[in-house]
Amino acid sequence: GRGGGDSGEFRRARVLMGTVVEITLLDGGAASDAEAAMEAAFSAMAEVEASMSAHRDDSEVARLNAAAEPVEVSAATAEVLELGLRVATASGGAFDLTLGRLKALWGFDGDAPRVPSDPEIAAALQGIGPASLRLAGRRVTKGDAALRVDLGAIAKGYAVDRAVAALRAAGIRHASVNAGGDLRLLGDHGGRPWRIGIQHPRDPQGVLVTLELADAAVVTSGDYERFFEVEGVRYHHILDPRDGRPADACQSVTVVAASAAEADALATAAFVLGPEAGRRLVESRGGLALFVAADGEVSLSEDLKDRVRRP
Ligand code: ADP
Ligand code: MG
Ligand code: MG
């Protein structure tokens, strides 16, 4: 049956890319087959997961990571690598999709995360950086066989974009796709903007602000999403490639941009750069940003101010 009751909304949730993905169709009833549109959107995301996950031995990223020779990847993976490398360059290396070894060292994906020693961190930083990955069409060459690519900061956003493209192709014009904080809105909400609650980084039940938006991607990166604590110190999963440790300038960054892949990459980059340099980066690429700095101070792009409602 259909979810959403009398409102005409049609909603489905599925676990993909390590998070709960919720898709809401507002005009599902007008589409020839809403159920098929939903299925197409979820399978587009599953395809992205299958090729870009670093955890699956059979993914393209795993194949690239294991290879010593150049590797031919799919058009989708090449597109994500290209965007990632562009954001890496624009951010001066704050965004870095070659830090796979460093991420594995901290163990955020396993069940035994730990604080590595300084020499371990130095070794994992050896030879990384956007210049160590060359992309020519769909051919990827690693500067060093030991280089490990991690698309964790961009692939989820890209998958959301693919889902939205699938919905569009199926005739849907008003929908939202939310992959655990990576969100994209298709069209508006009954002639009005959608109202998107942005999570308060220090209050799991609290809403920091509500954003009124249509036809946009909204992605949040926060230090509260994945972390462990040792002796009262929080170690989270957004790493500063300059010192190999969790970036410490922000509690959370929300980016509004045209695509979720772009917003995802920019949110991670801006988190590392901090409120000032981060805002300049996001705005230089046509996006808008909302920061909660490490001390809790909230700042945001001028052009975002008229879309903000207090919760
Ligand atoms: P989330 O996974 O909660 O959506 P992000 O989009 O910020 O958060 O992605 C964080 C993930 O990106 C990490 O788990 C890691 O895989 C990878 N990552 C961590 N630091 C960086 C960085 N500086 N640049 C690029 N990717 C990073
Ligand atoms: Mg990201
Ligand atoms: Mg993300």
ipTM at complex level: 0.98
Number of neighbouring beta carbons within 10 Å of residue 117 = 10
Domain range list for the chain: 1-311
Per-residue pLDDT band at 109 (split at 50, 70, 90): confident
Q: Which of 8-12, 250-254, 255-259 has the lowest mean pLDDT?
A: 8-12
The CA 219 to ligand 3 mean position distance, Å, reads 7
Distances (CA, A) of 112 to 108, 236, 247: 8, 13, 20
The CA 268 to ligand 2 mean position distance, Å, reads 4
The CA 239 to ligand 2 mean position distance, Å, reads 11
The CA 264 to ligand 1 mean position distance, Å, reads 9
Q: Which CATH superfamily is domain 1-311 in?
A: ApbE-like domains (3.10.520.10)
- Interaxial angle between packed helices 275-284 and 260-273, expressed in degrees from 0 to 180 and rounded to the nearest 10: 150
Q: What are the φ and ψ backbone dihedral angles of 191, each rounded to 5 degrees?
A: 85, 0
**pLDDT greater than 60 at residue 4:** no
Longest distance between any two alpha carbons in the chain, whole Å: 60
Residues with CB under 6 A from ligand 1: 95-97, 99, 103, 108, 150, 152-153, 156, 221, 225, 237-239, 241, 264, 268, 272
The pLDDT, as a whole number, for residue 2 is 43
Q: For ligand 1, atom 19, name the residue with the nearest CA.
A: 238
**pLDDT greater than 60 at residue 90:** yes
Q: For ligand 1, atom 12, name the residue with the nearest CA.
A: 153
Instruction: State mean pLDDT over 250-263.
Output: 98
| Cα–Cα distance measured from residue 177 to residue 241, given in angstroms and rounded to the nearest whole number | 30
| Cα–Cα distance measured from residue 77 to residue 37, given in angstroms and rounded to the nearest whole number | 23
**pLDDT greater than 50 at residue 5:** no
Q: What is the average pLDDT score of the chain?
A: 94
**Amino acid type, 246:** P
Which ligand neighbours the alpha carbon of 242 most closely? 1
- Interaxial angle between packed helices 260-273 and 75-90, expressed in degrees from 0 to 180 and rounded to the nearest 10: 30
Which of 237, 272, 273, when mutated, tests ligand 1's pocket best, judged by the most ligand atoms within 8 Å of its CB? 237
* Segment holding 133, helix H or strand E: strand 133-136
Environment class of 306 (CB within 10 Å of its CB; exposed 0-12, middle 13-18, buried 19+): exposed
